[in-house]
A and B are shown apart, each in its own frame.
Chain A
């Protein structure tokens, strides 16, 4: 198997073609943040709706490569219904996975996130895989984030 087909696993190709939770969240409770990779021009906006400390709903919109699109899509699937603490742990472990810092925690990530392990072999693509996660974290951290505010991330 070539390294490119290891990078572009079928799960990634599938989520690139048909991203889940694509779109916006309207309404008072929704918060969002914008992420941007100035090097390649990729853009993503992540919407979150919390109920207590649980992610009740999450959506994303944006344009970017297959890695960034699939990563955003799979992230929404992974964090929906999780507590903030669980989401933050997932992010930390996912970051370890795509930067090649293997640990018990990265091994324990759900299989649908494990498909990004090979990104570590493509250093220029690490940002693609982590952009949506950084943006989601930004939306989580900004307690004042209302639907009308835009938070840029560089």
Chain B
């Protein structure tokens, strides 16, 4: 059974905390996949709390990359020899694996890109430039990562469209009544994150897609954070586009995905020109290849796509439900542990949240906190997290952020707590 990244399931996970041991009892969390990640054997003292920036890689993903290059490497599509045909089939099966993983109707609705950023830029430049007209409106939210904000601002600037922003409440939730007012018949697209990289907030995407579609607008969902934290079903979400990166999903860097509904992709003009994306080329005209090849000019990241499929197999082997339960437990422990430290202010206390915690410590700048924690082997992120509008909303220049994944343990939470206490003592 799928356990979706949805309001109900995660909230249930977070509430079902009665069996969790108190934080001072250091036990191994019940999900035991840490041994599959070689980085923790090579760096035994590493407390990695920056998975929202990039996840660590399981051995099987690293091995898959090496195995492809060692024994399966050839360019795809045009080769008449067996090795190329096999590489093409492997690449195609990776596309099918991604489609299955996100609940797409067809493998051809999956376009491989370099990552979330490139996926969003593809939509802004291909769909955006051919559809968006002066006076049209694009709605983003105050909690967007710059990668789901800047491409739309650039599009608005170049087309004469207007960028609108749905605000965030003090608790770090999307102001849905404001969203409802902002989405009008002028709206062409709503661009919204599924899961905030700063606040951990899980947005009610289904409600947003219903709202937008009723007004005749499309919805692009930034799934960079959500794909690693529970099952995603693009048809349940009802979105028109869904973008994510391989490297936050235990896969390689340099590979990402754009899901688009088939009918939309068919109508969209190509984005980049080059090899692989054409039907015929002649001086008097060009015809385009079919979707998805139309959007994959040049040799794609074949090995990375294949390794992404391996990463998905890893996620499926752990199971979405187990991931959601494990991370909800860590989130609950961390919230409790950090809240008990004087001077800690948690930023974002949404009812529906994933295992990303932003906070400030009174009298200690997040960068200084990051440096003190680093000495104890604790890796967190400090800064504006590429979300300056959100930082401004909370009147902050920077926060510290700890993000938890499948390989983290209650010990990691305790290490973070002690590290923060040490920084507090140092700067007092």
User: Which residues of A does B touch, CB under 8 Å?
Assistant: 2-5, 7-8, 13, 16-17, 39-43, 63-67, 69, 122, 125, 128
Contact = CB atoms under 8 A, between A and B. Distances in A.
B384 interface: yes
26 contacts: A3-B375, A5-B426, A8-B368, A8-B372, A8-B426, A8-B427, A13-B426, A13-B427, A17-B363, A17-B427, A40-B382, A40-B398, A41-B383, A41-B384, A41-B391, A43-B397, A64-B397, A65-B367, A66-B364, A66-B365, A66-B368, A66-B427, A67-B368, A69-B365, A125-B367, A128-B367
Interface in B386-428: 388, 391, 397-398, 426-427
B371 interface: yes
Enumerate the 7 nearest inter-chain pairs by beta-carbon distance, A residue then B residue, closest first: A65-B365, A65-B367, A4-B375, A41-B397, A66-B368, A41-B384, A65-B368
Nearest to A4: B375
Contacts of A4: 371-372, 375, 426
Contacts of A69: 365
Interface residues of B, number: 18
Contacts, number: 50
Nearest to A3: B375
Interface centre among A8, A17, A43 (most CB of B within 10 A): A8
A40 B426 contact: no
Contacts of A16: 427
Nearest to A16: B427
B383 A39 contact: yes
Interface in B350-368: 363-368
Contacts of A65: 365-368
A2 B426 CA distance: 12
A39 B383 CA distance: 8
Contacts of A64: 365, 367, 397
Contacts of B383: 39-41
B259 to A, nearest CB: 32
A125 B397 CA distance: 17
B150 to A, nearest CB: 13
B367 A40 contact: yes
Interface centre among B368, B375, B383, B397 (most CB of A within 10 A): B368
Interface centre among B365, B391, B427 (most CB of A within 10 A): B365
A42 B368 contact: no
B350 to A, nearest CB: 23
B371 A7 contact: yes
Contacts of A17: 363, 427
Contacts of B364: 66
Contacts of B384: 40-41
B371 A122 contact: yes
A34 B366 CA distance: 22
B427 A41 contact: no
A93 B213 CA distance: 62
Given A4-B375, A40-B398, A67-B368, 10 more contacts: A8-B372, A8-B427, A17-B363, A40-B382, A40-B384, A42-B397, A64-B365, A65-B366, A65-B367, A128-B367
Nearest to B375: A4
Contacts of A42: 397
